[in-house]
Amino acid sequence: AQDGLRPAASDDGPLPRPVFITGLPRSSTTLFEQILGAHPQVHAGGEIGAGLRLAYQGFGVAQAMKPVVPGSPEVTTFAHRFRAVLRREGTDAPVVTDKSIMSWLIFGLLAHALPGATIIVVHRDPRDVALSMYRNHFAPGTHRYACDFATIARQIKRFRRAIAHWRDTLPGVLHEMRYEDLVTDPDAQSRLLLEAAGLDWDAGVLDFHKRKGLVRTLSLAQVRAPVHAGRQAAWRAHGAELAPFVEAWGDDPWD
């Protein structure tokens, strides 16, 4: 449905400017958002969820999505309604982040309809992602694949295939970052994160954990402490339990 869409030619769209942060559940998208949210020009919107909802309303749900026609009234309506949602966030910040997990399904539409939008994709070692998915409880009815290691493996591969598609079809639009790089070198990676989001450097983002405010995800404890390298490779202590995931993963290389 999104074949042939091109990113918006102009980067001077109306404010606030959206920055989409997405990745698999438990890949630390909340941590990346909280670093950005500590910037004085940014409001951390959390999982707003309006993009996919409005796309489904305007173009159809999932596989029933009809082709998106560039410049059509449906595209204009989508952009207008999404901008209105950002303004209703109740802030006059020029940049609003949206870390809705499933926005990767509509990267083509987002890049085409929203001039100035930034898309940041967070990657993490799939073994750590699988372990964290499996041992956490999500809201009922969401992420139902997370109860089985083989199904988790298939979902991670599905996500990676989608990102590879958008990387090829929207060159230069996606900014991909790795959790392991961030915890190894927080200063340098925070600078790259702000650069990807089109923001000037502000040292205050390194103190993101001191910010007040509501965090509505399972990552609450993580974002109330400084970044440290001890958070990576937790899967090593659970090799036996992860055996079904490793088997389902197959011969694909690890990161």
pLDDT per residue as tens digits for the range 99-136: 998 999 999 999 999 999 999 999 999 999 999 998 88
pLDDT of residue 71: 87
Mean pLDDT of all residues in 3-29: 88
Helix 186-196 vs helix 29-37: crossing angle, to nearest 10 = 80
Mean pLDDT of all residues in 128-155: 88
- Give the pTM: 0.88
pLDDT of residue 90: 63
Residue 142, Ramachandran bin (φ over 0: left; ψ between -120 and 50: alpha; else beta):
beta
Mean pLDDT of all residues in 37-62: 94
Spatial neighbors of 220 by CB under 8 A, at least 6 apart, are none
7 φ, ψ (degrees, to nearest 5): -60, 150
Is pLDDT of 29 > 90?
yes
Query: From CA 163, how far away is CA 156, in angstroms rounded?
Result: 11
Q: Where are the beta strands (DSSP E) in the chain?
A: 17-23, 42-44, 95-98, 118-123, 174-178
Spatial neighbors of 103 by CB under 8 A, at least 6 apart, are 20, 22, 51, 52, 110
pLDDT of residue 14: 83
Mean pLDDT of all residues in the chain? 88
Q: How many CB atoms lie within 10 A of CB 201?
A: 11
Is pLDDT of 221 > 60?
no
pLDDT band at 149 (very low <50, low <70, confident <90, very high): very high
